[in-house]
């Protein structure tokens, strides 16, 4: 049986692997999207502060000061590997009832890009552990972080985990999140590249990406705001949790105009549509089994716009 771990402990273990990337001077146009490693000054004036993302306005400001390079921490290169014999590429027909469309590599590669990384998508259908090992080793040359997941029913987890054990030091566990599956993490390859294995179910793979992988990426970037913001809101309908585990309920936020935002849990939480529609995740603490309508709750923001 997989070892269990508290969310905060797991997050801290992963952040310990996600050290800020080494800084270097980068050509001005290439620096877009990276993070300033030190303050940038000109004429005894601080133009840009260390730890800020380099946007188009910072590029223009640097150019106006005559700079053609900026001291940066580069965007981490994140390889997302989805492995499973029953996974079928979108656009191709399903062969039988065991097959499922490969979702995670599309979902998570774009999610890591949204977090500030350079994402590389890899879909493989390994028949043996040796084949998967070859794929992972090939990807290490371009990876600062590797994220791997398998099929939704997690049958491929054992294969993935056994391969990673051959490549480095990894640990299997299950964070105390309602509904989630097995995870693994560690470092692999000659450069001890951080690796995270997520559940095969797309909903929980995405939630774990938000909770654990996104902060790793932003830590590698050298940013200060590595976590999604959490706000207070008034709950408009009842939600169910689970004692001993934290629940993350997909929800939609609204602004009532009184200064207090409200939040409504979406129906059919097992439907992938809820990920597309949600603008936040209601956090149901592990100390309660339910939250009632009218309660003030914490909501992890997925977007900064409200309906």
Q: What's the whole-number mean pLDDT along residues 293-305?
A: 86
Q: Are residues 209 and 91 in the same domain?
A: yes
Q: Are residues 136 and 151 in the same domain?
A: yes
**Close Cβ partners of 47 (under 8 Å, ≥ 6 residues apart):** 40, 41, 61, 62, 65
pTM flag (> 0.75): yes
Q: What is the pLDDT of residue 153?
A: 67
| 22 inside domain | no
132-155, pLDDT tens digit by residue?
A: 999 999 999 999 999 999 876 667
Q: CA-based Rg of the chain, rounded to a whole angstrom?
A: 21
Q: Are residues 96 and 215 in the same domain?
A: yes
Inform me whether the pLDDT recorded for 74 exceeds 50.
Answer: yes
What CATH number has the domain bearing residue 31? 3.90.105.10
Q: What is the pLDDT of residue 150?
A: 85
**Close Cβ partners of 43 (under 8 Å, ≥ 6 residues apart):** 65
Q: What's the whole-number mean pLDDT along residues 117-134?
A: 90
Mean pLDDT, the chain, rounded, equals 92
Q: What's the whole-number mean pLDDT along residues 216-224?
A: 93
156-206, pLDDT tens digit by residue?
A: 898 999 999 999 999 999 999 999 999 999 999 999 999 999 999 999 999
Using alpha carbons, select from 34, 47, 62 the residue that is nearest to residue 222: 34
Asked which of 37, 53, 73 is the last residue of a domain, the reply is 73
Q: Are residues 245 and 271 in the same domain?
A: yes
Burial of residue 157 (number of CB atoms within 10 Å: 0-12, 13-18, 19+): buried
Q: What is the pLDDT of residue 92?
A: 86
Report the SS3 class of residue 147.
strand
54-73, pLDDT tens digit by residue?
A: 999 999 999 999 999 999 99
Show contacts of 122-129: CB within 8 Å, 24+ apart: 122/79, 122/80, 122/81, 122/82, 123/81, 123/82, 123/83, 123/87, 123/89, 124/81, 124/82, 124/83, 125/83, 125/84, 125/85, 125/87, 126/83, 126/85, 126/159, 127/85, 129/159, 129/162, 129/163, 129/166
Q: Are residues 85 and 197 in the same domain?
A: yes
Q: What is the pLDDT of residue 63?
A: 95
Q: Are residues 109 and 245 in the same domain?
A: no
Q: Are residues 67 and 93 in the same domain?
A: no
Q: Are residues 7 and 131 in the same domain?
A: yes
CA 298/CA 153 separation, integer angstroms:
30
Inform me whether the pLDDT recorded for 306 exceeds 70.
Answer: no
First to last CA, the chain: 43
What CATH number has the domain bearing residue 122? 3.40.980.10
| 61 inside domain | yes
| 235 inside domain | yes
| 212 inside domain | yes
DSSP alpha helix (H) spans, the chain = 7-17, 56-64, 104-114, 129-139, 157-167, 202-208, 214-220, 273-277
The pLDDT-based confidence of 285 (bands split at 50, 70, 90) is: very high
Q: What is the pLDDT of residue 77?
A: 97
Lowest mean pLDDT across 4-8, 32-36, 135-139, 253-257? 253-257
| 306 inside domain | no
Contact 247, 221 (CB under 8 A): no
CA 136/CA 159 separation, integer angstroms:
13
Contact 198, 14 (CB under 8 A): no
Lowest mean pLDDT across 22-26, 60-64, 83-87, 174-178? 83-87
CA 269/CA 266 separation, integer angstroms:
7
| 236 inside domain | yes
Using alpha carbons, select from 7, 2, 138, 14 the residue that is nearest to residue 81: 138
CA 12/CA 175 separation, integer angstroms:
12
Q: Are residues 101 and 120 in the same domain?
A: yes
Using alpha carbons, select from 296, 240, 250 the residue that is nearest to residue 273: 250
Q: Are residues 123 and 259 in the same domain?
A: no
Inform me whether the pLDDT recorded for 307 exceeds 50.
Answer: no
| 225 inside domain | no
Q: Are residues 145 and 191 in the same domain?
A: yes
Q: What is the pLDDT of residue 67?
A: 93
Domain count of the fold of the chain: 3
What CATH number has the domain bearing residue 237? 2.40.340.10
SS3 content of the chain, % helix, strand, coil (to 5): 25, 35, 40
Asked which of 57, 73, 89 is the last residue of a domain, the reply is 73
Q: Are residues 198 and 85 in the same domain?
A: yes
What's the DSSP call for residue 96?
S
| Distances 89 to 120, 131, 150, 199, 274 between C-alpha atoms, Å | 16, 19, 13, 19, 22
Domain that residue 271 falls in: 230-301
CA 31/CA 53 separation, integer angstroms:
9
| 242 inside domain | yes
Q: What percent of the chain is predicted at pLDDT more than 70?
A: 96
């Amino acid at each position: 049986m997989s070892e269990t771990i508290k969310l905060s402990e797991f997050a801290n273990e992963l952040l310990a692997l996600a050290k800020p990337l080494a800084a270097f001077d980068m050509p001005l146009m290439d620096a877009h999207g990276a993070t300033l490693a030190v303050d940038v000054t000109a004429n005894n004036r601080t133009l840009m502060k260390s730890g800020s993302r380099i946007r188009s306005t910072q590029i223009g400001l640097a150019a106006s000061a005559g700079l053609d390079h900026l001291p940066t921490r580069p965007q981490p290169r994140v390889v997302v590997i989805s492995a499973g014999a029953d996974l079928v590429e979108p656009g191709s027909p399903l062969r039988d009832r065991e097959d499922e469309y490969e979702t995670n590599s599309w979902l998570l590669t774009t999610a890591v890009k949204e977090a500030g990384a350079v994402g590389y998508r890899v879909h493989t259908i390994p028949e043996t552990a040796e084949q998967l090992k070859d794929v992972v080793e090939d990807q290490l040359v371009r990876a600062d972080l590797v994220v791997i997941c398998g099929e939704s029913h997690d049958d491929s987890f054992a294969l993935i985990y056994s391969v990673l054990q051959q490549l480095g030091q990894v640990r299997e566990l299950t964070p105390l999140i309602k509904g989630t599956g097995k995870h693994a993490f560690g470092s692999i390859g000659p450069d001890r590249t951080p690796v995270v294995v997520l559940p095969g179910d797309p909903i929980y793979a995405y939630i774990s990406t938000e909770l654990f992988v996104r902060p790793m990426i932003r830590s590698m970037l050298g940013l200060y705001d590595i976590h999604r913001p959490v706000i207070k809101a008034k709950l408009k309908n009842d939600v169910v949790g689970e004692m001993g585990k934290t629940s993350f309920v997909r929800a939609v936020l609204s602004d009532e105009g009184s200064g207090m935002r409200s939040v409504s849990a979406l129906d059919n939480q097992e439907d992938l549509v809820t990920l597309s529609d949600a603008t936040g995740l209601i956090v149901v603490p592990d100390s309660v089994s339910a939250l009632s309508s009218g309660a003030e709750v914490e909501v992890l923001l997925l977007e900064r716009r409200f309906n």
